[in-house]
Amino acid sequence: MGRHNAFTFPYTFFRQSAAQVIPELQSYGFTGINLALNYHASRDFLLRQGPALEYLVDGFHYYAPNRDKYPAQAVEPDPKDCLIDNRMLDDVIDVANARGFEVNAWAVFMHNSAIGFQYPKLTVTNCFGNHFLSELCPSSPEIAGYISGLSDDLASRGITALAIESLHFHGAHHGEHHERFFLEMSEITGFLLSLCFCAACIANFVGDGAALKERVAQLLRPFLDEDDEWLGVNLTKENLASIAGEEILGYLTSREETVAQRYREVKAVTAAHGVRTKFIDQAPLIPTSVNAPLAKSWQVGIDNTLIDKAVDIYEPLIYRASAEEVGALASHYRSEISSEITAILRPTYPDNDSKEKLGAKVKALHDSSVHDIDFYLLDAMRPRDLEWIKSVITS
């Protein structure tokens, strides 16, 4: 039948004990949860335990960190951004162990305004020196230490796997509550505007990063003064090289190698605890990704040939409207990735509106030999959604 985990916010266990929640989830056919233990800011209308409008705090750690896990140079979580104890997490782990239920730690790594506002020099910094304070830069040694410490800390707590989200670069339109770009912007402009030229990224590049930074700034001047000359032009490496010169391709390779090294470091510390790594792959959400999203991964600094070797499980967000699209995506991942694959489905709006449609998507995944399927997001599900899941995974 495969594994079936529910992505779960900690609010589930703030409102009910693990002894109540976990048996209920097992009755619906779930074999585990991906529990958010480090998450970004959001406002969520939660339903499963009664209607509640909850505000998740950006960069918050839903446990009390073990600071001995962090290297000397690492950024550490601020005490105000953490729970004061581990009662919730310990209770979940204890009940899960007693019932043979899987608990994976779900962590959002680089999307963290709490750390970004505290350490702006460690955030993605564009060619104009603008800091994207919601995006930590994985090239920074201090952030590399944070990544390692966070992974080591979570892996030491008795989890089965570490579900890694947002350990890569991000685009310009990402991260804040009210974002105002009153400009018509092409994909190329958005990419160049958010390309990181912090000191660490420049230092990692074997070429002249400072000169490339100035080149990109000059290329963006017409956009700032008049209009965007690349509207309608596809964002490809070939087009970037034509616009900015071949050297930019080496710069992109440098950041891909840096991101891959962070994943290798995470796997090294988690493997020491017998914990597996799951790459939450958001490539299917990249604009124009359609049925071949892995071809777009470079836009966020991911080289799949490197990441495939550095993780145990690929877990793409298969957020598509039809079973045919779901099947096409699953086949795409099967043909390109050698790691185990777990699919993430949304049984809710906007992806799904019936048990039959959800069942067809699950069948499409099975037909592509993808049998491990996780569901997002438990806290926001209606009772009918859980019944639909039970029906399609236990039939």
| Residue 238 to residue 188: CA distance in whole angstroms | 11
* CA 48 from centroid of its chain's CA atoms: 24
Residue 74 to residue 272: CA distance in whole angstroms: 20
**What integer pLDDT is reported at residue 393 of this predicted model?**
93
Whole-number pLDDT of residue 174: 66
0.85 exceeded by pTM:
yes
HEC states along 28-55?
CCCCEEEEEEEECCEEEEECCCCCEEEE
Report the DSSP beta bridge partners of residue 372. Answer: 342
Q: Which one, of 161, 165, 171, lies nearest residue 108 by Cα?
A: 165
pLDDT at 288: 82
Looking at this protein, which amino acid is placed at residue 357?
K
> In this predicted structure, what is the pLDDT of residue 38?
96
Two tokens at 9?
Answer: 């916010």
Give the C-alpha separation, 7 to 32, whole Å: 9
- Give the span between the Cα atoms of 164 and 236, in whole angstroms: 26
Cβ atoms within 10 Å of 74's Cβ, excluding its own: 18
- Residue 61, SS3? strand
pLDDT at position 176 is: 66
Residue 175 CA to residue 301 CA, distance in Å, equals 17
Give me 130's structure tokens: 């603008």
Asked whether the beta carbons of 329 and 291 are under 8 A apart, the reply is yes
Q: What is the pLDDT of residue 181?
A: 74
Give the single-character DSSP code of 57.
P
Which pLDDT score is estimated for 179? 67
The answer for residues whose C-beta is within 8 angstroms of residue 123's C-beta and 6 or more apart is 116, 131, 132, 133, 134, 135, 136, 137, 198
Identify the pLDDT of residue 54: 87
CATH number at residue 181: 3.20.20.80
> pLDDT (tens digit, 0 to 9) for every residue of the chain, 395 residues total?
799 999 999 999 999 999 999 999 999 999 999 999 999 988 888 888 889 888 888 899 999 999 999 999 999 999 999 999 999 999 999 999 999 999 999 999 999 999 999 999 999 999 999 999 999 999 999 999 999 999 999 999 999 999 999 999 998 876 666 566 778 999 999 999 999 999 999 999 999 999 999 999 999 999 999 999 999 999 999 999 999 999 999 999 999 999 999 999 999 999 999 999 999 999 999 988 888 999 999 999 999 999 999 999 999 999 999 999 999 999 999 999 999 999 999 999 999 999 999 999 999 999 999 999 999 999 999 999 999 999 999 88
DSSP 8-state class, residue 207: S
Question: How do strand 313-316 and strand 276-281 relate by DSSP bridges?
Answer: parallel
* Neighbour tally for 210: CB within 10 Å: 12
Distance, first Cα to last Cα, the chain: 10
Strand, coil or helix: 133: strand
pLDDT in the model for residue 182: 75
DSSP 131: E
SS (H, E, C) 95-110: HHHHHCCEEEEEEECC
Distance CA 191, CA 298 (A): 11
* Cβ atoms of residues 300 and 286 within 8 Å: yes
Q: Is there a contact between 35 and 103 (Cβ–Cβ < 8 Å)?
A: yes
As for how many domains the chain has, the answer is 1
Q: Which domain holds residue 231?
A: 5-394
Contact 161, 312 (CB under 8 A): yes
Helices (H) and strands (E) in the chain, counts: 14, 13
pLDDT at 175: 64
